[in-house]
Amino acid sequence: MLDLNAKPDRPLVAASILSADFGYMIRDCREVLGKGADLLHVDVMDGHFAQNLTMGQDMIRALRRHLPDTVLDVHLMVERPGDYIDDFAKAGASNFTFHLEVHHGDDARALIDRIKDAGMTVGMAINPATPPDGLAPFLDLLDVVLVMSVVPGASGQSFMPEVLPKTQWAAQRVGDKTRVEMDGGLSPTTAPAAAAAGCDMMVTASALFGSDDRADVIRALHESAP
């Protein structure tokens, strides 16, 4: 299984299953993994923090059953991420990312400890409007720093280049064992700017699953680093 703590020699491609065909989920996942995607990204929304309802532990459990060797990068856009730690770990989540906007200070440190104790790597995400400074106390504890390049809620939105300085801020402060991830609007067109800012794990949704040549999209993201 992919080791998220190993610095990649090219950007990792995380296929966001939010844009897959839910009626053919495993087929779509196997296809993009077979065409070079490095891992799967699972967006969990509660209808409150993000104005959408998506998927939960049952989807994670099904993915793990069919894809036992695939990293499942679970991104919780929810108000109470602590409620899901144990269930998601048991279902087979590999990485558990929660938002700085809902947990900070000692509360966030306790949550990070719980996630690691459950056997998962841990990430912290920030929305486009959130300054990155709040991440600073936790950077040495995180396996993933996720900079949202769209407002959470739905796939298919346009990339927000104004968040690139935050990506650069994070990339300059984390060690080799921490991935700097971006999520939202990443495509062959926008990926080079993300890579130049220091992003080494790219989430792609509609640009990948909506393409007639998914292998070409994955190849372009892999080759986007300067």
Catalytic pick among 28, 38, 46, 183: 183
Identity of residue 199: C
Q: Measured between alpha carbons, how far is 67 from 137 in angstroms, rounded to an integer? A: 35
Mean pLDDT for 61-85 is: 96
Lowest-pLDDT range, 35-49, 54-68, 185-199?
35-49
Q: Does the pLDDT value for residue 153 go beyond 70?
A: no
DSSP-based three-state secondary structure for 29: helix
Q: Does the pLDDT value for residue 51 go beyond 80?
A: no
pLDDT confidence of residue 143: 98
Q: What is the fold, at CATH topology level, of the domain defined by 12-222?
A: TIM Barrel (3.20.20)
Give me the residues paired with residue 38 across strands: none
Give me the chain's average pLDDT, please: 94
Mean pLDDT for 158-165 is: 94
183 is an active site residue: yes
Q: Does the pLDDT value for residue 94 go beyond 90?
A: yes
pTM of the model: 0.95
Q: Measured between alpha carbons, how far is 164 from 221 in angstroms, rounded to an integer? A: 16
pLDDT confidence of residue 93: 98
21 is an active site residue: no
Q: How many CB atoms lie within 10 A of CB 106?
A: 9
Catalytic pick among 28, 43, 46, 73: 43
Q: Given pLDDT bands bounded at 50, 70 and 90, which one contains residue 49?
A: confident
